[in-house]
Structure 1
């Protein structure tokens, strides 16, 4: 590229980065403002204050935020684990076995992934209340599987297709059963793909709001995104913008750390199998 083209690409990249990071910087700035400075219209706080963080971690909002944080970690980790285990078997069958309806399964998984959640949450709410799953961890884990399983199956299918078939055949020639070859040869080779899939599935479950707000009513199972919508100010005339911003920063930190540490694996998982040759 010429110098002019390189400069244009650099300027375009900087514009995109600023556009993407400005809302994040604004939330961080808002979380560090004192209640009196939140509505002053300035980007940076005039006096840095940790009041909002103290309120959600040890103050009046801690009873709402901390149980929700615990619920989010527990529910999302369990949903991610189950999703990855089920997706491994489904992806192995799709990638290795030849059976009727294989393409239908992949198409169905894709259709489930793009199906609007808001259209099924009301009947699910009524069903969960009848069977006793409303406001429970299993009542959120099961719907989260509908969000995480499709992308997990698609991602792992691409990884299993890249594993040489001859390695599994060699293990079977040496006396290994199909299950032993899968467990001792295929799974270790697919470990990077499983790890990538787990990260993506965790992000999807962690960011869900609709299921969390509709299928819970108490701190027994309410996740963080739903809890943020229930924050209230010191009075009916005060908006809880500061504590909400502080809570948003806290719950974003794990996601940012995982992305920074494993961004190469995430990109590899999303693009693996997309390019041949």
Structure 2
């Protein structure tokens, strides 16, 4: 009688083993999905010159910058218009590839911000006058000494970079604008002060001529759409001779507006 409990336990163990219980079966192997193949690096038809730099005597800051040269630049012997883009630490790969895929005969110079959040100084109301001098007196002359260029210069900036563009446009030379095209993407025009608006009015008083193409975009999910529309309305109301304005609205977030804006705008300029 004392053996009966032991026999019952042995029988139960055998039954569990036969059913795969009791931890004796092997753990099934879970097949992990293969990692997605990374996209191959983009192969340019043109050429890029990366990680150059310029030390500004005006701002006291050293700015890294990158240059894209279009296909055929090395052998054509001709000059090319130049696009100057702010926030080169972010914008250069996408902007240069868009130009390259179109085989657009244009040089791109993308300037990085030059230090952690330096854009919050250089691209805004307080630092913009000095940064504009850096562009006009130091960087652009260097580029035009180094590469074959035409007098057609374009400027593009997003967010604070758009704000910087608006400040430079309001103080453009009354005889001949320095930049022929301003591409301002969801600009932070809410930061413009009463003095900045007075600068716009002062330029209008000096001349009603402004031979510039102004390309504006907005982001509205969320973005600066109301401020951009107010800025556009102000410039349209002045009836400048030679000024062309176009605007496109994107139903995307502010931080995503730069690339699709550039993709739209570069087909509208030469």
TM-score range, shorter chain: under 0.3
- Using CA pairs under 8 Å that are at least 6 residues apart, name the structure with larger relative contact order, 1 or 2: 1
TM-score, L = length of structure 1: 0.22
Richer in helix (by share): 1
Q: Which has the larger radius of gyration?
A: 2
Normalized per residue, the structure richer in strand is: 2
TM-score, normalising length from structure 2?
0.23
